[in-house]
Chain A
Amino acid sequence: MATAHHDEHHPSGIMRWLTTTNHKDIGTLYLVFAFTMALVGGLMSLVIRSELWQPGLQVTDPHFFNQMATVHALVMIFGFVMPAFTGLANWMVPMMIGAPDMALPRLNNWSFWILPFAATLLMLSLFMPGGGPSGGWTIYPPLSVQGGIGTDFALLSIHMLGMSSILGSINIIATILNMRAPGMTLMKMPMFCWGWLITAFLLIASMPVLAGAVTMLITDRHFGTHFFDAAGGGDPVLFQHVFWFFGHPEVYILVLPAFGVFSQIIPTFARKPLFGYVSMVYATATIAFLSFIVWAHHMYTVGMPMGGELFFMYATMLIAVPTGVKIFNWVSTMWRGSMTFETPMLWAIGGVFIFAIGGFSGLMLAITPADFQYHDTYFVVAHFHYVIIGGSVFALFGAVTYWLPKWTGHMYNETLGKWHFWLTMIGFNLTFFPQHFLGLAGMPRRIPDYALQFTEFNQWSTVGAFLTIGAQLIFFYYAIQSMKGGVKATDKVWEGSEGLEWTLPSPPPYHSFTVAPKVK
């Protein structure tokens, strides 16, 4: 593949990054931004875990603790996981479907550059009089109506982050639907692209709903409306319905691209085609559809009519079927393969394993009468960290190690990669597994201080958190090392790799496919 001659016609230095419309540059920007935010959110989690090291108040006061819990969640969801996967999509979708770039390059630039401003706004909120948002990332009114100007900063930031995701999604849909190489039918498309195509539709359908809820909250706070104020004829529960109509699809926005990553990595290292490709596609679509009709399982305790609770219980339980299909398919892909366990494969297997635990606790949470006990306890905290870290973050590290040699042209240090994986795996489980027990035994979430019987497991959890965050330094080290140099990567990188991205040189040319490749 020849490098196109007009490659060098872009500005250099800071202007290159500010004005770039290149999918790889923008993908890099997204990833750098995301991992920076992960560091910020990770430090906040250490503030939380330090306070929870023992009963009593030692490190923070309750008000600041609540701000940390709130901003940690917003940063990790909107600042880390979502942009990171958009970064992966930017890098990989054009290369996987045989396109030169994304369909809408200028929009691409804009959708990224909204992010740093939104993040700055969110961080500044912590320095406002009265502090940052402290009512939880779910910003339930009336509590969120009480917050100071910091809450407004956060609300505006959520608006901007949402806008960025919508623009990014439009671009991904336009790219996948219009830019595939001849012969690349939808049903031949790599699962990562399928995961993202469906995710992009979820984003477009759910983000505006969040924007609506946030806007109503802003007008309730400042313009005398009473959408969520019972005293003025409004309904505080309405907010929760609207919020979770966004919030539940959001969970799948975070994990469907991750499922796509697992479906790329596992066949590569099992040296065997993905089992049940067609059922994978349908299972993904079914999960996406179901994700829109289960939202109220986040709010069983608000006092819904029994008919409603039964409906949401049954619908939620149904999600276990397509999710199960995916897990069975991954296991079957591995079955009688010829497996090796390079770092990306470790992340994929570890991710499926962790995610499955989160899936099972999710099924338990779906059972309404049992949920009355689990709801708003550490059991829920354990559950969603298993889902989001196992599903999304493990997949993210898997994806980065899988494609890093392609991006940089250099192999990363495999030994460090494995250390990073194992320390994270141990640290993660040490942090979050005991939280299941804490929740079952009766520890509510979002408290800065707790009764004495919860001390021991909280200490395990705190040790685990420091180990997990500390282990990430290894990642930054070997990722940067691979950017600087090292063993040259081949075009194919992995023995079992299949797909168009591996036909390009490592690193690939600035404009990925200037001549559409032939797809068999």
Chain B
Amino acid sequence: MSMTHLKQFTGMMSRSLLGLSLWLVSGSVFAEYGLNFQKPVTSIGHRVLELHNLILLICVVIFIVVFGVMFYSIYAHRKSKGYKAAKFHDNAKLEVVWTVIPFAILVSMAIPSTATLIEMDDVSKSDLTVKITGYQWKWKYDYPDQDVSFFSTLATPRDQIENKTAKGKDYLLEVDNPVVLPVGKKVRFVVTANDVIHAWWVPALGVKKDAIPGFVNEMWARVDEPGIYRGQCAELCGKDHGYMPIVVQAVSQEEFDKWAALQKDKAAAAEASAGKTWSKDELMEKGKKVYASTCAACHGANGEGVGPFPKMTGSKIATGPVAGHLNIVMKGKTGTAMQAFAGQLNDADIAAVVTFERNSFGNKTGDVVQPSQVKAAR
């Protein structure tokens, strides 16, 4: 490389670096436009964002240097300018240098990465455990210490998805029951799945882990600020993979305790009501809700079936014997997306939805299934 080339080259480089630093200064502005990570709210989230920014910076600098040289060459060394080709075709020293320098840069990237990974891996000394179970297509959360357990499903109305009504602010990122976590506490997540592989991911928390049937994964997060943080299932899990969001609500310890107590009361009330005899209207009303949240995704909002999933109208099962209908709802059908709902729904829910299916979408069996029958079938 001749002296004049070198000068031109360094001049160009310093100009590029200036541009780069401007770009980095305005990084915080970019964040609002969704060009970079969502604002992290956990210590891990901050570490990961710093790591990401560091490796991105290194990559951008190397890219600018290498392609700066290339574009300079494209500009200067062209035949149309009468440039005569040189004859050289190797240079042992140079080749050693550009093997060793990248290696050293990699080592400098590996060190902070390793430290962050070690920190993320340490799930010990947690204050609270939350068990997360992925289902097609919803999440179940268990708080073993608080004896709280519930499902969390998409709350966005079907009409918004089908473009019949205007979409809300949190379209597809809203659920019926959010995961509630106390701020400032180390929460250990235990992640698994019931059917296929899912992945639990809340970007602001900086954590993502696969939920795998038959396996248990662990991760942890300590949320620093109260607020609502939204995420989604990240691993393709079938038809409604795009429709199983995650909403985390971080609250003070006091509010968390209140919330946990309330959940327990609700569960007890549901348990108690299951024992009584329900009227057909009550069952139909409840069944309609359960159908919409649990069955409609595959069997269609109007029982018409979706793709490979069977329709309700005139179905042999929904119009045949009650015992058979209960059996498939409760035990599922192996090798298909039809799950065993006995573990997911309580007696009243199952009784209601079976009653609803047998008396809707053109089915007129007139059957009324009581929670006690479901209990007996368990």
Binding site for B on A (CB under 8 A): 55-58, 61-64, 66, 129-131, 134-136, 140, 142-143, 145-146, 148, 221, 229-231, 235-237, 270-279, 299, 301-303, 306, 309-310, 313-314, 317-318, 320-321, 324-325, 327-328, 331-332, 334-341, 349, 352-353, 356-357, 360-361, 363-364, 367-370, 372-373, 375-377, 437-438, 440-442, 444-454, 457
Contact = CB atoms under 8 A, between A and B. Distances in A.
B86 interface: yes
25 contacts: A134-B239, A136-B236, A146-B238, A230-B215, A270-B77, A272-B89, A301-B199, A303-B191, A321-B102, A324-B98, A331-B66, A331-B69, A336-B86, A338-B77, A353-B67, A363-B59, A367-B55, A372-B48, A375-B234, A376-B199, A441-B38, A441-B203, A442-B232, A451-B170, A451-B173
A321 B99 contact: yes
Contact of B36 (A273, A341, A440): A440
A372 B120 contact: yes
Contact of A447 (B210, B242, B335): B242
A192 B367 CA distance: 73
Given A277-B89, A306-B118, A231 B214 contact: yes
Interface of B: 34-38, 47-48, 51-52, 55-56, 59-60, 62-63, 66-67, 69-70, 73-74, 77-80, 83-91, 94-95, 98-99, 102-103, 106, 109-110, 113-114, 116-118, 120-121, 160-163, 167, 169-173, 191, 195-197, 199, 201, 203, 206-210, 212-215, 217-218, 230-243, 306-308, 335-337
Contacts of A57: 161-163
Contact of B77 (A129, A336, A349): A336
A457 B172 CA distance: 18
Given A55-B171, A313-B113, 7 more contacts: A146-B336, A230-B212, A301-B210, A324-B102, A331-B66, A353-B67, A453-B34
Contact of B241 (A279, A302, A338, A447): A447
A236 B197 contact: yes
Nearest to B160: A56
Nearest to A356: B63
A143 to B, nearest CB: 4
Majority DSSP secondary structure for residues of B touching A: mixed
Given A325-B98, A368-B113, A440-B35, A334 B196 contact: no
Contacts of B34: 437-438, 441, 453-454, 457
Nearest to B63: A360
Given A55-B171, A331-B70, A364-B59, A369 B208 contact: no
Contacts of B196: 140, 142-143, 146
A338 B236 contact: no
Contacts of A142: 195-197, 213
B114 A310 contact: yes
Contacts of B201: 376, 444
Contacts of A372: 48, 120, 206-209
B356 to A, nearest CB: 24
Contacts of B55: 363-364, 367, 370
Contacts of A306: 117-118, 121
Contacts of B67: 353, 356
Given A230-B213, A448-B242, A451-B172, A130 B86 contact: no
B87 A55 contact: no
B199 A310 contact: no
A367 B116 CA distance: 10
Contacts of A325: 95, 98-99
A237 B173 CA distance: 29
A20 to B, nearest CB: 39
A352 B207 CA distance: 34
A305 to B, nearest CB: 9
Contacts of A450: 172, 242
